[in-house]
Amino acid sequence: MITIQELLYNRGLDKCAAIKLVRHKEKGKDLYNMYRTDRKAFLKYQNKQEKDVFNKVDYIVSFIGEEGLQARFVGVYKVNGKKAIHEGYEYSMSEVGGYDDLKERVIIRWENAISWHQWIKNEMEVLEISPGLHYKRFTDYFDLILEFNELQEIIVNEYKDWRNVLSVVKGIYLICDTKTGKQYIGSAYGDDGFWGRWKEYVATNGHGGNKSLKELIDKEWDYACKYFQFSILMLLPKTVTAEEAIRKEQLFKRKLGTNSFGLNNN
């Protein structure tokens, strides 16, 4: 068994320091998406606590809780100080270098799930070290929100867990331009379902053949990476015909007004 302690100590983490392992998880908050897209907001979330849980702590080893007892490593932070505030305590922290190749890739089994912060002496098993894994795990079709750069990595590297779930279903999807709030509705009804359709977006740098999306990307080549988010609106049977899928697509276009106010052209 390999433990997170072994990995960290082998990379120079001070064995004599006071260190806590911290597993962030809160119902209703997508903390991993916050970490990926708004690091400042995540650090603010981490640094403010109702109770003085990091009292006399030199370093925290930070994780984001995932399904079951799993937790994803996202960095080591030095506790530089604290101050009392109305809501509790606010800590000053700085990230410690030397762990970038482990961040987001190491998954551990969190022992004693009741306690979200534990001293490092409590050994925890490393379940997985995924090569090049920098995307969120699949949990549910309707919880799925993928930034375009995440979709690129998943498609280009053909991650099996994602390919397995996206290629077996067809349906209606949404692309949101987070810069303008405009939306595009599309349908995936080919043999490889969402996987096959979304692969076309990756191959075309984000436009998938759509006129309005292409115009945005022609003006700014990395526009999709900056602003496009992919999600699923409806699942359709594997046996659905193209005509049936397009009828559902048109229904969502009418509901959301994407022909008049969004990015659809027909």
Q: Contacts for 43-49 with beta carbons within 8 Å, 24 or more apart?
A: 43/93, 46/22, 46/77, 46/93, 47/90, 47/91, 47/92, 47/93, 48/85, 48/87, 48/88, 48/89, 48/90, 48/91, 49/88, 49/89, 49/91
Residue 14: predicted pLDDT: 93
Q: How far is CA 78 from CA 61, 134, 219, in A?
A: 9, 23, 42
Q: How far is CA 217 from the centre of its chain?
A: 23
Q: Work out the burial of residue 83: count CB atoms within 10 Å of its CB; fewer than 13 is exposed, 13-18 middle, 19 or more buried.
A: exposed
Say what the pTM is: 0.55
Share of the chain above pLDDT 90, in %: 72
Closest CA to 182 of 106, 243, 265, 124: 265
Q: At what angle do helices 193-203 and 148-156 cross, to 10 degrees?
A: 110
Query: For the ranges 45-54, 99-108, 169-178, 190-199, which has the lowest average pLDDT?
Result: 99-108
Instruction: Mark 33-47 as b/e (b = at least 16 C-beta within 10 Å).
Output: bbbbeeeeebbebbb
β-pairing, 19-24 vs 59-65, is parallel
* pLDDT tens-place string over residues 87-105: 899 999 999 998 887 888 8
Residue 133: predicted pLDDT: 46
Task: Write out the two tokens for 154.
Answer: 């998943």
Domain ranges of the chain: 4-129, 145-256
Share of the chain above pLDDT 70, in %: 97
Model confidence band, residue 68 (pLDDT cutoffs 50, 70, 90)? confident
- Residue matched to tokens 């984001």: 64
Q: Is the pLDDT of residue 202 over 60?
A: yes
Q: How far apart are CA 201 and CA 208, in angstroms?
A: 4
Model confidence band, residue 247 (pLDDT cutoffs 50, 70, 90)? very high
Residue 136: predicted pLDDT: 63
CATH label, 145-256, candidates 3.40.1160.10, 3.30.390.50, 3.40.1440.10, 1.10.10.410? 3.40.1440.10
